[in-house]
Structures are given as C-alpha cells and as structure tokens.
Amino acid sequence: MFCTDQRFMKVAGPFINHREFQKMKKIPHHNDSVYDHVLNVAYQAYRVSYKKGWDWESTIRGALLHDFYLYQFNKKPRWSLLIDAYNHMVNHPLKAYENASKHFHLNPIEKDIIISHMFPVRVPKYKESWIVSLMDKSLAIIEYSQKFKKVVLGYEEKEESYQKAQ
Ligand SMILES: [Fe+2]
Ligand SMILES: [Fe+2]
C-alpha cells in the first residue's frame, strides 16, 4: 500500500518496516494478504479517529496489530472445519495480542482494539476499538466482494479463451 499521508505514515512506518510485521504479507486473507488488510483497516479507522479528535495514534497502532496472529487458517474441507473456523474466530484476537505484546509495547486502548475487534465475541471498551471493529467488518465485505468479482472474471476469461481456441 502506497500512502502519501505523512501523519499516518509517521505512526505506521516503524510497523511496516518491522520484520515480524512483514510476515503478514505471506498470509492470505479475504482478497489479498493480512498485511494489506490491516493497513486498509488502520488507514480508514485513522481517518475517522483523527476527524473526531480521538486517540488516532493508538487507533493506527491497534488496527495494524488487530490480526497479528501469524498463522494461516486451513480452509480445506474436513469434518472439523466449522468447529475450527469458530475457534479461529474466537481465539485469533488473543493470539494476535500475545504476538503483538512480544514485539511492541501496547497501551490499554491498543490492547482493547486487538482483543475486541471481533465484536460481539468481546465488547470494545473504547471508541477507538469500536471504529476499528466497524472498519474491519466493512472492509471484509468489500474485500470479499472484490475476491468474488475476481473469481467470476477469472471464469469469464477462461470461458473466452476457451471459445477463442475452438
Ligand atoms: Fe480478525
Ligand atoms: Fe481483520
């Protein structure tokens, strides 16, 4: 993600350049990687937080780390898929917090943003946590719909090239 917003980049830069943080680039998520997803969420949540005069620096830091769970959820069809998906949904914020606290110093707002972003699993305590949870859900819908379009277009392209080959 290329961002010209200096205010945002001043806070996000040290994370973006961090070796552990970079590992999220390799983990697929929705339409892209977890890395792209957390940057999108952080930027959109920051814009609201800044406009409202909230703690926008904590908003950025918490949002960047909200999915710092660093493993790839296995979506292969299997009997336990539903249970595993449920466990992932409930537990990945705690794993993200565990990983984040190993590498970064977190304030109470940042901690709350991470552990409560899967509301209603856990209820956020701060307005900064609410906005990250809301942006996370909104962007997930956009990212999934982009993936859907890609898949549909992919089929169309295959169909077209198949027809051309006839
Ligand atoms: Fe998440
Ligand atoms: Fe997320």
Q: What is the pLDDT of residues 143-162, one digit of tens each?
A: 888 878 777 766 444 434 33
pLDDT over 70 (residue 105): yes
Ligand nearest to the CA of 38: 2
Residue 32 host element (H or E): strand 32-33
Ligand nearest to the CA of 137: 2
Q: Domains in the chain and their CATH numbers?
A: 6-137 (1.10.3210.10)
CA distance 18 to 46: 20
Instruction: Report every protein residue that has its C-beta within 5 angstroms of ion ligand 1.
Output: 67
Instruction: Report every protein residue that has its C-beta within 5 angstroms of ion ligand 2.
Output: 67, 136
- Whether this prediction's pTM lies above 0.75 is answered by yes
- Is residue 74 within 8 A of residue 27, CB to CB? The reply is no
Strand 32-33 to 28-29 pairing: antiparallel
Tens of pLDDT, residue by residue over 9-49, are: 999 999 999 999 999 999 988 888 999 999 999 999 999 99
Lowest mean pLDDT among 10-14, 87-91, 97-101, 161-165: 161-165
